[in-house]
A and B are shown apart, each in its own frame.
Chain A
């Protein structure tokens, strides 16, 4: 259940997401109890150029990959990870 208080999470952008938003980090205000995927919707409103970049994006909370329905806490670092291509 999402209540109406807000919390802040620190979002990190990389690669195509960083170029689409023009930023590498962003403090997002989201409802308390928000899940990782809820933040994506908040971000697309703030950065319309992110729209279309959802495919293949994974989420990491505090440097660990998590499912999209993971509930966030105040102060979490949420990294949006586009399809990885190391090596």
Chain B
């Protein structure tokens, strides 16, 4: 299993966490993003994710390298799902291991915020009034 990956099949939350955990990892923080049944006051039945695969894994690697520079963490793994996901399915799993909990929490927060801001990934929302591409950039 690679540290940075896109997957067309369900994400292995425990597997991603195990990728970063070592005997020196006093704290492992795992963030799981899931498909929610509503967004912006509208109900959501499913999401469809699309990515620019040749670029996205390099962006994940760059985000992880920055997080390791800023925070005292030992390893970071980022896996993101592609294709159609139903409500409750995991769309992203980020695992961060560190000797201590505080940098692990901070680096995990940094990684998910940066992923949302700059990873070339798009999602289409399906709801009762049709489907549209979500534009989250401010």
Q: Which residues of A contact B (CB under 8 A)?
A: 12, 14-16, 18, 56, 60, 63-65, 79, 81-87
Contacts and interface: CB of A to CB of B under 8 A. Distances in A.
B122 interface: yes
Contacts, number: 73
What DSSP secondary structure best describes chain B's contact surface?
mixed
A63 B122 contact: no
A33 to B, nearest CB: 25
What is the size category of the interface that chain B forms with chain A?
Answer: 20 to 34
Given A63-B58, A81-B52, A86-B80, A15 B116 contact: no
Contact of B135 (A18, A56, A64): A56
A79 B52 contact: yes
A9 B58 CA distance: 22
A85 B58 contact: no
A84 B137 contact: yes
B50 A14 contact: yes
Contacts of A64: 55
A68 B120 CA distance: 17
B133 A82 contact: yes
A86 B123 contact: yes
A83 B117 CA distance: 9
B52 A85 contact: no
Nearest to A12: B52
B112 interface: yes
Contacts of A12: 52
A27 B28 CA distance: 46
B55 A85 contact: no
Interface in B34-55: 49-52, 54-55
Point out which of A18, A64, A82 has the most chain B C-beta atoms below 10 A from its C-beta: A82
Contacts of A56: 135, 137
